[in-house]
Amino acid sequence: MEPINLSERKSLKQTVIQEIKQYIIDHQIKAGDKLPTERKFMEVFGVSRSVVREALSYLENTEVIRVRQGQGAFLNESNIENLLNNFFFLWQINNGNIRDILGLRVIFEASAIDEIIMKDRTEEIASLEKMVKKNMQSTTVEAYREADILFHKQILKATQNQLFIQMTSMITSYFFQVQHIHMTVAEYKASMDEHMEIVKALKEKDAAKAKSILTKHINNAKA
């Protein structure tokens, strides 16, 4: 038998990675559950220990699993934060336009508004209103900025869709990390008024009005 060349070995590792993922699905392994041992995977897939270790190392580096010394490998909770972090990093260094992020925020937050009204999230709307009233008492630029971030994240959380929340909250967080918004206290006060207008439109179940105010509000963000 001829030695496996580099390309063949890489292909074998990728095959085992996919096989392990399928094994997890087929055996209904849940977050926190322990995966089979390296020896078990060797027997199941008919490959060497080194190939299994390479595959598990890849899955650990991509945070599909976590390896505890002396205990084995365990399936992680679903979390796409690191994936999106890497994506946005590459997007940014390849001359990404911040207006694209603004556009994504409008699309996702507008979708959240539709979901909130359609599912009649009365309690979440009440929480939003309470938050905005409290935020209006802010006195510093820093406090207003934090209030602005929390308001937009709370709109996303009100959908109660965990995958949607993870994806969209990351986009909102990334925007505020890379975009240095310069606003005066007076401008922030006007922004809080817009937050309240959005809440009122949600209470009235007027999705079109809420989305119109939201779109103008987000697009007014200044660098």
pLDDT computed for residue 165 by the predictor? 86
Dihedral of alpha carbons 85, 96, 214, 192, sign: positive
For 213, residues 6+ apart whose C-beta sits below 8 A from its C-beta are 194, 197, 198, 201
Final residue before a domain boundary, out of 55, 75, 95: 75
pLDDT computed for residue 129 by the predictor? 96
* Interval 52-80: pLDDT, tens: 999 999 999 888 899 998 899 999 887 66
Final residue before a domain boundary, out of 28, 50, 75: 75
* Interval 83-95: pLDDT, tens: 777 777 777 778 7
Those residues of the chain that have pLDDT short of 50 are 1-4, 6, 223
Q: Report residue 105 as tokens.
A: 């925020």
For the chain, the C-alpha Rg in angstroms (whole number) is: 23
Cα–Cα distance, 205 to 207 (Å, whole number) = 6
Q: The domain containing residue 22 runs over which residues?
A: 6-75
Examine the domain organization and report whether 86 and 51 are in the same domain: no
pLDDT computed for residue 9 by the predictor? 59
pLDDT computed for residue 162 by the predictor? 84
Report if residue 122 sits inside a domain: yes
pLDDT computed for residue 3 by the predictor? 45
Examine the domain organization and report whether 86 and 156 are in the same domain: yes
Instruction: Read off the CATH number of the domain in which 37 is found.
Output: 1.10.10.10
Examine the domain organization and report whether 68 and 99 are in the same domain: no
**Count of structural domains, the chain:** 2
Cα–Cα distance, 125 to 127 (Å, whole number) = 5
Q: Cα dist. 10→7, 17, 43 in Å?
A: 5, 11, 20
